Structure 1
Amino acid sequence: MNSGLTFTNYGDDLMLKISHINTFIGRKKIIKDVSFQANPGSIVGLIGPNGAGKTTIMKTILGLTKFTGNISVEDKSVTENDHAALTRVGALIEHPAIYPFLTGLENLKLYSLDETDMNHVFSLLKMDSYINTKSKDYSMGMKQKLGIAIALLNKPQLIILDEPMNGLDIEATILIRQIIKQYAAQGSAFLISSHVLGELQKVMTNVLLITEGKIIVDQPIDEFNRVSHKQYRVLTEDMPTTEKLFAANQVPVTKSDEYLLIPRELSYQVQDLLYDHHIRLIELSPQGLNFEQTIVSLLEQQRRQNHEK
């Protein structure tokens, strides 16, 4: 996709390396030639629509699905039959893996190798008041915290979190954000998926955008934000005709209120197009998209290109 986005160039110091992964469910290919990497201390935000393959990628990294290609954690290969490379990996996938008739503390003890670290984790998550209560009586947010606590046990170097903000109130969301940053500052790498893009944007260092099983953006968040502002907004005297004209000439657009947003590099082409079709241009001005709008715009461009193939 020609979106002006380039792939991240990482150094040699890698925590996670994914190379040309293909994952199948039955005979259907779900993940298609996916490659990406994560450095120690990085927080990679895995973003995409429902069914794009986010959870499948996470399961594949954890050796839970059949795959072709190569996965390594700290230069150790992950295979279907050998998960030794995952000893310093913590994960929360889909739903917290907790036993309802055990207390929160008893659940943690099943996974903990270090009691001091375990006590630190549940205190950090502010679970002290209910840690000795059976988890069947936990609210959704309390269960989510317990699942995150399990993922943080034993000082993992790679932490994989699938929708970690689910069920959390505002205070808990802010707390989790702070904890993620704290662990990353100490060198742990994160791979996080979330539909709460505003929250994910506040912590992630890298954007990984996936759709239909393919990675279409892999970029540092600062660079991504710079590219996302390369938009112009268009207002004409006849917007319905303008929209049809742009579609007929394959000009990628995103609707925003009464405006159409176009890539900045097409601004001169658009002016000529409108002039040739005798449509009066009222406004053509720079427009910065917010993070969510940029993601939607990129996905729409990708769908348009797939439809044209």
Structure 2
Amino acid sequence: MNDILVVSNLSKNFGKHKVLENVSFKVPRGKVIGLVGPNGAGKSTIMKCILGIYPYSQGDIWFEGRKMTAQTTGTMGKKIGALVESPAIYPFLTGMKHFKLYGIKPADRQRVIHLLGMENYINQKVTQYSFGMKQKLGIALALVNNPDLVILDEPMNGLDLMSTLAVRKIILSQAAKGTTFIVSSHILSELEKIITDVVLIDHGKIILQKPLQALREAGHQCFTMVTNRNSDARQLLGNHHFDVSLTNDQLQIQISPNQLTNVLQILLDDHITITNISHQGMDLETATLQFLKQAEGVVNHA
């Protein structure tokens, strides 16, 4: 089976408030899925439903081909690791005692302690930990049993640069070995460095699911162009209703790839020579904003 997790028509209400509505997506094995959306979109709720923390109104969740129920979720403990919202830690225990409390083998705990650079404080009580240190402990506990699926909600919160790099390296290396990740983060520039696929959610509904590269190539993108008459080219393309700006002697044109031929023809018909052209796909933040605006436009039009 290529999909380690399948979420089908998942809906969740809190009283009369519908938080999730017919949410469906698939998580291919060994991929790093970025769960992206505005605050309150339903990202954490999806994660908690997968983990069995929240019951849900309707729908099904399948993990490794087995339908997850209240009974089966408890048996998945060592196959699914998670850090959702805040680490489940005990303030008056040391970090090391947390590993011992959960019966973690010495070799496994030393591996994650070293990977996350926690040696200097692992024997201190958690009451002495900074927020970032607690976050790293939570990530370590999520990873320590070598689970098949790891769910991380805002894992970069409170981490300094070196810790962020360490977490990024761990996610990428574990994914290369076959571990599957679902990661949510509001730091899209950082999320973009680790994910392979994007699931975009807004108002409790899935807007799209795409590989990251396909998302970058979709919709309007930026083409940088230099011509022998940049000012004339800017005015000409503006007259044809293209989004174009002139910065540092370069034209920045926001178009989709299938519009490029039309742009080039307009310039050539006016005897404008193109001396350089390059293409830059959208980053995750730009793509997310664009698709959210498109989805909002559909809702408003409806």
Structure 2 contact 95–125 (Cα < 8 Å) conserved: yes
* Deviation for aligned residue 1:46: 0.5
2:73 aligned with 1:80: no
1:299 aligns with 2:292: yes
Check if 1:308 corresponds to 2:301: yes
**Whole-Å separation in 1 of the counterparts to 2:55 and 2:192:** 31
- Indicate conservation of the 8 Å contact 1:93/1:161, yes or no: yes
Cα distance 1:236–1:42, how it changes in 2: closer, same or farther (>3 A)? same
- Larger deviation, residues 99-108 vs 76-85: 76-85
Report if aligned partners of 2:220, 2:256 keep a CA contact under 8 Å in 1.
Answer: no
How far apart in 1 are the matches of 2:244 and 2:137?
40
2:16 aligned residue (27, 30, 41) = 27
| Match in the other structure for 2:95 | 104
Correspondence 1:173 to 2:164: yes
Alignment partners' CA distance in 1, 2:244 and 2:159: 32
- Segments of 5+ residues of structure 2 without an aligned counterpart are 225-232, 264-276
Paired residues for 1:241-280 under 5 Å: 261=254, 263=256
> Aligned pair in 2 of structure 1 residues 235, 95: CA closer, same or farther (>3 Å)?
farther
The runs of 4+ residues in structure 1 deviating greater than 6 Å are 232-235, 253-260, 266-270
The offset of 1:230, in angstroms, is 4.4
In 1, Cα distance between the equivalents of 2:193 and 2:161? Answer: 14
In structure 1, which of residues 24, 46, 51 is the aligned counterpart of residue 35 of structure 2? 46
Of 216-225 and 79-88, the range deviating more from structure 2: 79-88
Greater CA drift, 146-155 or 157-166? 146-155
- Structure 1 residues 73-222: aligned runs within 5 Å: 73-87=63-77, 88-222=79-213
Structure 1's unaligned 5+ residue stretches are 1-11, 271-284
1:264 to partner: Cα distance: 5.7
User: In the TM superposition, what is the alpha-carbon distance from 1:260 to its structure 2 partner?
Assistant: 8.7
TM-score normalised per structure 1 = 0.79
Q: C-alpha displacement at 1:226, in angstroms?
A: 2.0
Q: Judging changes above 3 Å, is the alpha-carbon distance between structure 1 residues 89 and 262 closer, same or farther for their aligned structure 2 residues?
A: same
Q: Using the aligned pairs only, state the percent identity.
A: 41
Instruction: Note the C-alpha offset of 1:80.
Output: 3.2
> What's the TM-score once normalised by structure 2's chain length?
0.81
Q: Which amino acid aligns with 1:214?
A: K
Question: Counterpart in 2 of 1:64?
Answer: 53
Query: Does the 8 A contact of 2:215 with 2:287 survive in 1?
Result: no
Number of positions where the alignment pairs a residue of Structure 1 with one of Structure 2? 277
What per-residue deviation string (whole Å, max 9, x for no partner) do you get for residues 204-235 of structure 1?
Answer: 11111111111112111122222255467996
Shift of 1:103: 0.5
Q: Distance in 2 between matches of 1:299 and 1:292?
A: 11
* Contact 1:112 1:153 (C-alpha < 8 Å) held by counterparts: no
In structure 1, C-alpha distance between the alignment counterparts of 2:74 and 2:84, rounded to whole Å: 19
The more displaced of 73-82 and 51-60 is: 73-82
Q: 1:84: Cα distance to partner?
A: 3.7
Larger Rg: 2
